[in-house]
Amino acid sequence: MIGKTPSRYAVALLLLFATACSHSPEPQGGPSQLSAVRTRHVTFVQWTDPHVFDAGKGRTGEGVREEELDNWAAFHWAVLQTNRLVLTEHRDIDFVVITGDFGLENVLLSNETKRTSCPGDKPSQEGPIPTVPIAAAADEVARELDALLVKRVYLVPGNNDLACESPKDLPRWTQFVTALQQDLADRDQNRNKAANMPKKPNTATAVEVVDLTSIADAPVINGISLLGLDSAYFKDHEIDRNKKKPATVNSAGKLAITKDIDPASKLIQNDADAAIPKEIERISKQIQPGGSYLVFTHVPDLNDPIGRSPAWKLSDKESRNWKNNVLDESAVLGVFAGHFHIAKRDMYPQNFPDKDKIADANTAVKVWLAPPLAEKYQWRSPPEETARGMLLVSVNADGQTRVSAIDGDVKASAMWFSTSDQNTAAVSVGDDKIAQAREAERDRNWSDAATQYQAVLSQDKADPRTRATALSGYLHARGEMRSWWWKSTAARWIYLNGMSLLVTVGIVVGAIVVCAMLRWFYVVKGASIFLKFVFVPGFEGRATINDTAAMTDSAPVKLFASMLRAEGQEIRSLLQREQEHWAAGHITLLAPANTSLDSLVASVPKVGSGPADLSVWTKFLVNLLQVLRWTVQTGLAVFPPNQLPPPTAPPAGANAPVIVTGAELNAYAVLQWAWVTKRSWWRMRTVGNDLSALRDLARELAALICGEAFV
């Protein structure tokens, strides 16, 4: 027992130190939390223009439904791709912003029976898809958002979220957001109920949806305030019914340009004209000097790339208000919009058409465009040439750039969605190496991380987003490698393994303390006794006597083993003569090792080959069963007397006898089941003039072994 305990500790120590030399696994990426608060820095994902409820506008036949499915597929992709950024790339995404155009104009409010007809509607067109009730629409969107790992979602309405793009239809948007918020809350509550967990308010299990255009206090993330500009009605609403008519020549011989504005559209324009100043004022009032602001809106103040006409129709006064009070404010870091559907990837996020013609410098610098998710207007383009996807944005408000490749406070890159082949189109070249590099970063193995990032930078086909990420990571890794503790081998080892070592030492010390306490309270001994009681069957006198081990040269082990078995038989005879047949039946089963069984097992014919050889398995099983039984291990030692008797010539061909008068016989017997020792005995006799000492020794040990059956 004394010899076993240190060896157990040694094995435990070896195992624990072995674990100390390996890197501890980092926790898996889970639901995203707010990124560590640095100086005014946020990372977010912008989705725009999903058009899941008004898909198929302008399409015919199966194209209507096809576009609906495609738009939903893009919406699914946006959720999964955002989750992938969290899980695979381990990015801390602070929030998701959806800059409008779900297509709520084609959704029925509770008091509506049919879609609102608008000026300019073409009654013969087949699209869009059939209307759905607003509750169903909210439920469908909630199902998607509920799967997001990023738990903050901000919304602004798009022009296609208002019937006829009228500011008077804003309640449609408000009802949708409210229904969406309630649906998500219900889903979270049901989930907690299903998991039998109490409802925990303010936990990150539920997705929090906020309409940025309807709240008084702008949310602040890491010191950066988020503003929502409702530009859903900023477009030109007036419909000139003479637009497609041929121009007439007046009496002076000049082209007479006369407009015939649709009265209904004029009314909408009037409403918009009244609402726009209020909206711009609402935004401008929230901007305070010294703050940092991001503005999210749907329609950008840019020329529409298709019609080449301004997307906003503002009076000169409101244009000045926008520029002077919002866009030109240094506190405004960026304006993020969507709305455009042109299939030109180069245009996103900031390579606007006619950019060089934009007079206002801040518009060219601060406005960012996200590609649309919807297939709208891009269904004729080959999949690889579409420009659909989302924007990944990183913003620093302290003037320090996060990505040093491009100077600036805002770094945005588009991630592309493709209907045809998600595997090749959605995952950019080099993404795998980026993931490997990030894993190396998480292991704080900066040299490996730098190597992986460098490999990405050497790939010409990597898209700008991937390259920018790789460059950022590479520079960061190189920066870490320049630290003194990385250059020192010993310090680096402690840096990489210090925590694991500390934990391991703690575990070892704890284990030693626990073991000591257990030994102190005899728990180990008690457990050992309990395990023996449970797993080791009682000894009933049936034991196999193995060959006696010779502990000294020429010890008469065969003679001793024979005597041991004979004495076992003798004990049985003694008890039988005393009519103790019950006891005699117990103890006369001392038997030699079963050599006949061994030979039988050895003769099992070979069936199959290699690991499938049945004979090998049969032998193994038989041997295993043979181990699980009571056995007696014996050993014999003969020590010569201090004074040797006068030498006598041994018979011819025989060795000198070892059992001589005065010699000391030592024998042991160990009774065990499998590897568990039940009892052991050590006895000694001094040899007289004959072999009676050897017989007495065998007799006593046999009696002791048999006696264990009656204890």
Q: Smaller CB distance to other proteins: residue 459 or 576?
A: 576
Q: Smaller CB distance to other proteins: residue 456 or 587?
A: 587
Q: Return d(Cα 276, Cα 230) in angstroms, integer.
A: 9
Q: Smaller CB distance to other proteins: residue 23 or 581?
A: 581
Q: Smaller CB distance to other proteins: residue 617 or 681?
A: 681
Q: Return d(Cα 410, Cα 396) in angstroms, integer.
A: 6
CB atoms within 10 A of CB 504: 20
Q: Smaller CB distance to other proteins: residue 165 or 708?
A: 708
Is the preceding omega at residue 128 within 30 degrees of 0, hence cis? yes
77 φ/ψ angles, rounded to the nearest 5 degrees: -60, -40
Q: In the complex, what is the shortest distance from the CB of residue 539 to other proteins, in angstroms, rounded to a whole number?
A: 10
Q: In the complex, what is the shortest distance from the CB of residue 695 to other proteins, in angstroms, rounded to a whole number?
A: 12
Q: 278 is written with which tokens? A: 């209020």
Q: Return d(Cα 648, Cα 657) in angstroms, integer.
A: 10
Q: Smaller CB distance to other proteins: residue 12 or 574?
A: 574
Q: In the complex, what is the shortest distance from the CB of residue 708 to other proteins, in angstroms, rounded to a whole number?
A: 5
Q: In the complex, what is the shortest distance from the CB of residue 566 to other proteins, in angstroms, rounded to a whole number?
A: 14
Q: Return d(Cα 47, Cα 389) in angstroms, integer.
A: 8
Q: In the complex, what is the shortest distance from the CB of residue 536 to other proteins, in angstroms, rounded to a whole number?
A: 16
Q: In the complex, what is the shortest distance from the CB of residue 606 to other proteins, in angstroms, rounded to a whole number?
A: 45
Q: Return d(Cα 231, Cα 162) in angstroms, integer.
A: 11
Q: Write the burial class of residue 21 (CB in 10 Å: 0-12 exposed, 13-18 middle, 19+ buried).
A: exposed
Task: Identify the sign of the CA torsion 357, 360, 365, 369.
Answer: negative
Q: Are 234 and 299 in contact (CB under 8 A)?
A: yes
Q: Smaller CB distance to other proteins: residue 688 or 707?
A: 707
Q: Return d(Cα 467, Cα 462) in angstroms, integer.
A: 6
Q: In the complex, what is the shortest distance from the CB of residue 4 to other proteins, in angstroms, rounded to a whole number?
A: 23
Q: Smaller CB distance to other proteins: residue 230 or 708?
A: 708
Q: In the complex, what is the shortest distance from the CB of residue 18 to other proteins, in angstroms, rounded to a whole number?
A: 44
How many Cα atoms within 13 Å fall on the side-chain side of residue 411?
Answer: 23
Q: Return d(Cα 14, Cα 19) in angstroms, integer.
A: 9
Binding site for other proteins (CB under 8 A): 571, 574-575, 577-578, 580, 582-583, 679, 681, 700, 703-708, 710-711
Taking the CA atoms of residue 441, residue 444, residue 447 and residue 451 in that order, the dihedral angle to the nearest 10 degrees is -10
Q: In the complex, what is the shortest distance from the CB of residue 687 to other proteins, in angstroms, rounded to a whole number?
A: 20
Q: In the complex, what is the shortest distance from the CB of residue 570 to other proteins, in angstroms, rounded to a whole number?
A: 8
DSSP secondary structure, 355-396, as one string: GGG---HHHHHHEEEPPPSS-TTTTTS-GGG--EEEEEEEEE
Q: 472 is written with which tokens? A: 């950022």
Q: Smaller CB distance to other proteins: residue 370 or 671?
A: 671
Q: Smaller CB distance to other proteins: residue 268 or 583?
A: 583
